[in-house]
Structure 1
Amino acid sequence: MATELWNAVDEYFSRALVKPDPALDAALEASAKARLRAINVAPNQGKFLHLLAKINGARRILEIGTLGGYSAIWLARALPEDGSLVSLEANPDYADVARGNLAAAGLSGKVSVLTGLAAESLEELIRSGTPPFDFIFIDADKSSYPDYLRLTLQLSRPGTVIVADNVVRSGRLGDPNNREPDIIGIRSFFQMLATTPEADSTAIQTVGAKGWDGFSITIVSASQTATGS
Structure 2
Amino acid sequence: KIELWVEIHELNDNGEYSPVEVTNRNEVLTGGIYQLRQGQQRRVNVRVKPVQNSGTLPIICQSIVNVAIGSVTVRSRLQRPLDSYQEEDLTVLREKWSEALGRRRQYLDQQIQMLIKKEEKNEQERERELSLVHQWVSLTEERNAVLVPAPGSGIPGAPASWEPPSGMEPHVPVLFLNLNGDDLSAQNTNDELSIAGINSILSKEHGHKFYT
What TM-score range do you get, normalising by the shorter chain?
Answer: under 0.3
Higher-strand-fraction structure: 1
TM-score by length of 2: 0.20
Asked which structure has the greater CA Rg, the reply is 2
